[in-house]
Structure 1
Amino acid sequence: MLLPFLIVGGIGLAVLLISLIVGDIFDHFEIGDGAISGTALGIAAVVFGAAGVLTSTSGLDLVWAYVLAAVLAIAAYLVAVLFVKKLTASSDGVPVSAVGQTGVTRSTISPSGGEVSLDGPHEVERRLAYADQTIDEGVRIRVVEHSGTRVKVVAD
């Protein structure tokens, strides 16, 4: 009687792979404010299948195999939902403000624009910048305003 566990585990593996490759398949449905996650459902189904196979081959009654597999699947689902929510919140969170950071101009900065490199720990690329007055290339600057991907700078 391993077939039901193998089928559920296989479906769970397919859902998990689809969710990891394509993206969460339940993101487009507003069900329970993100309480249903394809990744978490896939993990739960895989755990159900694996736990069912392991417990039924260990000599327990089939009823206990289903009970234990269901309990472990629910626990795995809840843990996975918490991790998915935490990861989603951290990756889609509010961008870090650049106000107060210092850096160097990489081109002449004017009211119409230019480029700067900032010294912040998350700054790996140049940013578009503008200033009220012209600032020459190679001058140390400080960010006084942050709007989208552009920063307003003053000479430091």
Structure 2
Amino acid sequence: MELTPFIVIGGIGLLVLVISLLVGDIFDHFEIGDGAISGTALGVAAVVFGASGVLTTTAGLDLVWAYVLAGVLALLAYLLAVFFVRRLTKSSDGVPVSAIGLTGVTRSTVSPAGGEVSLDGPHEVERRFAFADDTIAEGVRIRVVEHTGTRVKVVAD
């Protein structure tokens, strides 16, 4: 009976952690505290709370001290997880690398309405949607002159 709260909280934490890893951070959509609350970090903290509570209780520590130690370790785990989540988020902020100046080849006819190109660049592994002021036939060498979102504006090279 002494282990039940630790097991339940640890299990809920594991569920929150798995959901956050599979579908993204569940608290990102609520704008709470400018990202101070992270589902991933809460999941990590709850798992650490549950695991450390079970370990300290089975090691024979008094129940009060098991809760205190589990709470302190969970808080430290939460803060550490928030730090790493923020650091990873800043390093992969989703801003595309600028493609201006890259060259490539048209993979379909490119017109003002659109088309596809393959670019020669270190971060370019697939085709990109492109547009041009004038129609450019398929297979023509091009150069990127503008980068808007994931689309690029190209001219014949």
Settle same-fold status: TM greater than 0.5.
yes
* Equivalent residue runs for 1:1-156 within 5 Å: 1-156=2-157
User: Identity over the aligned pairs, expressed in percent?
Assistant: 81
TM-score when scaled to structure 2? Answer: 0.83
Per-residue CA deviation, residues 83-102 of structure 1 (Å, 9 max, x unaligned), is 22233334443222211111
Counterparts of 2:40 and 2:113, CA distance in 1:
46
Counterparts of 1:53 and 1:117, CA distance in 2:
55
Amino acid at match of 1:153: V
5+ residue gaps, structure 2? none
Q: Which moved more, 1:96-105 or 1:81-90?
A: 81-90
SS in 2 for 1:33: helix
SS in 2 for 1:80: helix
Q: How many residues align?
A: 156
TM-score when scaled to structure 1? Answer: 0.84
Amino acid at match of 2:67: Y
Counterparts of 1:32 and 1:44, CA distance in 2:
18
SS in 1 for 2:108: coil
Q: Which moved more, 1:62-71 or 1:13-22?
A: 13-22
5+ residue gaps, structure 1? none
Note the C-alpha offset of 1:152.
Answer: 1.6
